[in-house]
Amino acid sequence: MRTRRAVVTGGAGFLGSHLCHRLLQQGYEVVCLDDFCTGSSANVEHLLEDRRFRLVRADVTDYIHVSGPVDAVLHLASPASPIDYLQLPLHTLKVGSIGTLHSLGLAKDKNARFLLASTSESYGDPLVHPQPESYWGNVNPVGPRGVYDEAKRFAEAATMAYRNARGVDTAIARIFNTFGPRMRPRDGRAIPTFIGQALRGEPLTVAGDGSQTRSVCYVDDLIEGLLRLLHSDLAGPVNIGNCGEMSVLDLAYLIIDLTGSRSEIVFVERPQDDPTVRRPDITLARASLGWEPVVDVRDGLQRTIDWFRNQSLVLEPTSVPAPSQPLTVSGMA
């Protein structure tokens, strides 16, 4: 029997790099595609010694060619943090639309299972709490976050169209807030921002009054959920996230405590369309995948803080690092 083979778009990003690692552990050959607009070759450098792993610089908004058989296409490519998709609005829309269609086309050509990494942002600023997969959401399509929210919603619609009209074996995961090692220190999301500020002894900048809630999931749990969905026959969408909810202010105080920092809290203007509440209903994932998070949030945060302490850039208060250059550069896989 030949070795199973997976293509991971956005594979050099935060989630993608962890997914590539786990797929290799499960015996897959892995082709990692990334355009490095937000991903980093450093995230997968430790995988390059494995002959089953290949890193390819590729933009999924261009035509994707992968030679040989493919058993799974996992589409994680997309700017994912507000600071990224606000700076790259057109690229975000293109990756969610053209990039998704190209990735689905690859899955169709290879008769492969396709998994879309969608997002809890599909629910927008929800009016239903917690959010079940049946909820259609409350999204502002012309607001600043609309480029990301609507790109993912289009991607979900395209995925279902390929399933229903082309017979592609597809799955949709709606990913809730995830954290862990390899997050970019200045990607604009709350946890890396708070950790970096706490380690530098700077005030933690909490948006609004901090009463808005998030449900944060450690990356190992999230990847386990994605793999269980991949290896199931579920079409989804399926919520993958931690249903333990806390306010952003409580999260900031917890990070101050875990870092041993003397940082204070300061309040800044809350961004437009920032969700007021966010908590997944994971009844479907529990019942159909036997999945739920197992890593305690405090434990996951401590692991993440320990990783950040070893990153010299975290301790630099001003300069923002330039995107890294890929270690392997090719237009073909």
| Average pLDDT of the residues in 13-23 | 98
The pTM assigned to this predicted structure is: 0.92
How many whole angstroms from its chain centre is CA 241? 11
Domain ranges of the chain: 5-315
As given in the structure block, the two tokens for residue 132 are 């079940």
Rounded to the nearest integer, the mean pLDDT of the chain is 93
Quick check: 149 pLDDT over 50?
Answer: yes
Q: How many Cβ atoms from other residues are within 10 Å of residue 76's Cβ?
A: 27
Quick check: 313 pLDDT over 70?
Answer: no
Largest CA distance in the chain: 59
How many whole angstroms from its chain centre is CA 133? 18
Q: Point out which residues pair with 204 in neighbouring strands.
A: 265
Backbone angles phi, psi at 332, to 5 degrees: -125, 155
pLDDT computed for residue 273 by the predictor: 86
Quick check: 329 pLDDT over 50?
Answer: no
- Asked whether 186 and 128 are in contact (CB, 8 A), the reply is no
Q: What is the pLDDT of residues 188-241, one digit of tens each?
A: 899 999 999 999 999 999 999 999 999 999 999 999 999 999 999 999 999 999
CATH tag for 5-315 (out of 3.40.50.720, 3.90.1150.220, 3.30.930.10, 2.40.170.20)? 3.40.50.720
Map 234-268 to HEC letters: CCCCEEECCCCEEEHHHHHHHHHHHHCCCCCEEEE
Q: What is the pLDDT of residues 233-272, one digit of tens each?
A: 999 999 999 999 999 999 999 999 999 999 999 999 998 8
Give the catalytic positions in this structure.
Answer: 148
Q: Whose structure tokens read 């989804």?
A: 236
Beta strand spans in 178-333 (E): 178-179, 204-207, 213-215, 217-218, 238-240, 245-247, 265-268
Closest Cα to residue 148, out of 97, 189, 102? 97
Distance CA 22, CA 305 (A): 22
Burial of 311 (0-12, 13-18, 19+ CB in 10 A): middle
| Average pLDDT of the residues in 281-288 | 98
Place 331 in a pLDDT band, splitting at 50, 70 and 90. Answer: very low
Q: Whose structure tokens read 């997002």?
A: 119
Q: What is the pLDDT of residues 53-111, one digit of tens each?
A: 999 999 999 999 999 999 999 999 999 888 898 899 999 999 999 999 999 999 999 99
